[in-house]
Amino acid sequence: MRSMTGYGRGEVDHRGAKFRVELNSVNRKQSDIVVNLPRDLTELEPRIRQTINEKLSRGRTSVVVSHEDGANMNHKLALDTALARSYHDAMRALQTELKAPGEITISMILQAPGVMRFGESNIDAEGCWSSIDEALQLALADLIKMREHEGRHLAKDLLQRLKLIRGEIKQVRALFPQVVKR
């Protein structure tokens, strides 16, 4: 007997980076999988779902895949120049319409939402899949082990309750002839 509640974690090093998969499951009649991935790894979501569905048939499972960049990961600074140009044009149009003095600086444009994004990693999702899958398998094994452990405790509790119910049934049966006479 397995419980549906559990937690599992797997961690694997890949070319200087560390991939971590954490699974958390709770009771649910059907299978419901919620996957939270870094943006660069979203293409792996169907594989992650399939792998989990092969091992778990019921319950709500939350999956969090994270990574810590290693020295060999390519960091990038992303600039959206089209958006920056759009902000500049909008600022200039507003300045003209309001007849507002002042200078529109590059600093103003760079601070506008979405123009510049820091700290994203350029991760090759396909190249990382084997390591992520390995971490996922470790997390699944850990989760299943916890579910089985919890299931043993649930089974023990159910057996104790069943024993109490059987004792109550014996007492009721013993009193039954007296009740029938009345």
Residue 14 lies in a domain: yes
Assess whether 11 and 55 both reside in one domain: yes
Domain that holds residue 94: 74-120
Coil, helix or strand at residue 26:
strand
Assess whether 128 and 116 both reside in one domain: no
Assess whether 80 and 164 both reside in one domain: no
Q: What 3 state SS string does 111-177 have?
A: CCCCCEEEEEEECCHHHHHHHHHHHHHHHHHHHHHHHHHHHHHHHHHHHHHHHHHHHHHHHHHHHHH
Residue 95 lies in a domain: yes
Residue 63 lies in a domain: yes
Assess whether 62 and 148 both reside in one domain: yes
Cα torsion angle, 24, 30, 36, 40, sign: positive
Q: Tens place of pLDDT for every residue, the chain, 182 residues?
A: 778 889 999 999 987 889 999 999 998 888 899 999 988 899 999 999 999 999 998 889 999 999 887 654 555 677 889 999 999 999 999 999 999 999 999 999 988 988 887 655 567 888 889 999 999 999 999 999 998 998 899 999 999 999 999 999 999 888 888 877 76
Assess whether 151 and 68 both reside in one domain: yes
Whole-prediction pTM: 0.65
